[in-house]
Amino acid sequence: MKFHLLLDARAVQKNVDGISRFSLNVTKCIIEKRPDWKITAIIGKEAAFHLENTGAEILIDDTSRFRERTNKKLAGRINKISPDVFLNFSMAGPQPDVPTIVMVHDLMVLNLPSYFGDSIIRNAISRQIFRKALKASIGHASSVGVLSMATKLDVMRYSKSSQEKIFITGAGQALFSSPVSKVMERENFFLYVGNARGYKNIPRFLTAYGRLWALNKKTPPLTMVVRKDRAYNYFKKHYDSNPARSNIKVLTHISDEELRTLYLTCRALLTPSVYEGFGLPALEAMATGTPVMASKATALEEVVGETGVLIDPYSVIDIMRGMAELSAATPEELEKLGKLGQERAAIFSWEKTTDCFLEKIEALI
């Protein structure tokens, strides 16, 4: 009888975000590496097309990942299916009577008071629901995957007994082959890629850029790829009031090919987040030889290491300093930084991340 792996991919969105990319790439890699396994994926109706024609059996389920009642019902459904191992990409979820691995991408909900916007009540209720669901999932799991050491330390603070269960998966990028063969001429603009939620540090970032531009009108223009989600209006408020807005270009919902071109032609990627579970845009940029400005004391520093320009994300002055360094750097200096980043990017891959999961899965067989 075939080994049966059941995946909880309910966190995958129709419009792919970071968790979606992680879940989809690892799932596809497992299918490729273990073609003799039966793979079943639980996924929402609108996102199910992402796994069509992959060889995975699809089960549609649009229930909440964080509601105790719905997770109990789903656990019963999983028990009836009786897979050999249950791999949950969704951070929190059901606790079925089978060996379980749960993936915790980050703890932003617990660490950032305004993660869900300005409502104190909404944030308090959402944190309480998440904390309870997370505690139950971690307590039940045989193993707990995390993206980085930063996230491992976060999880251990909330669940001290979880230390022996945790393994670090890392992540990969699929936008570019390695090494990048497509060479394009660099242009003089900075790039930002991400959403506008609190952890992205948009107010300090735009304040720093506006001040630097006021001091030096030769500061490179800034192109911002900002996803239109619940935080977009928050971003627009800060953008509209920025004195340098004429020097800032905003893009939304671009294609992967357009994103590749931006990475390949920009002067540098700017990632001044106060918190990240990993930092996929930084890795994607590094893969192309693009210099990266990244935040100290976050998972971004783990990804970028000493190959980028590291800044204190809580200091507007230090963010300005990082941008000024990259603005003044010579082509030779930028190329040197880019080559160091490209070498470091090569140590990360979806294959290596998938191997981490396969080791844990096969230890449970």
Find the CATH number of the domain harbouring 272. 3.40.50.2000
Tell me the pLDDT of the chain (365 aa) as tens digits: 799 999 999 999 988 888 999 999 999 999 999 999 999 999 999 999 999 999 999 999 999 888 889 999 999 999 999 999 999 998 889 999 999 999 999 998 888 877 777 788 888 888 898 899 899 999 999 999 999 999 999 999 988 878 899 999 999 998 998 667 767 899 999 999 999 988 999 999 999 999 999 999 999 999 999 988 888 998 999 999 999 999 999 999 899 999 999 999 999 999 999 999 999 999 999 999 999 999 999 999 999 999 999 999 999 999 999 999 999 999 999 999 999 999 999 999 999 999 999 999 999 98
Same domain flag for 167 and 314: no
For residues 215 and 154, state if they share a domain. no
Q: 325 burial class (0-12, 13-18, 19+ CB within 10 angstroms)?
A: middle
164 and 243 assigned to the same domain: no
Query: How many domains does the structure of the chain reveal?
Result: 2
State which H helix or E strand residue 276 sits in. Answer: none
Rounded to whole angstroms, how far apart are CA atoms 108 and 196? 14
Positive or negative CA dihedral for 298, 304, 305, 306? negative
Q: Domain check: are 314 and 335 in the same one?
A: yes
Residue 137 sits in the same domain as residue 217: no
Are residues 207 and 130 part of one domain? no
For residues 112 and 220, state if they share a domain. no
Residues 35, 152: one domain?
yes
Does one domain contain both 51 and 164?
yes
Please tell me whether residues 355 and 340 are part of one structural domain.
Answer: no
Which domain covers residue 246, as residue numbers?
190-345
81 and 224 fall within a common domain: no
Task: Select from 150, 141, 193, 158 the least CA-distant residue to 17.
Answer: 193
CB 104 within 8 A of CB 141: no
Edge-to-edge strand ranges of the sheet holding 100-104:
57-60, 38-43, 4-8, 85-88, 100-104, 143-146, 166-168
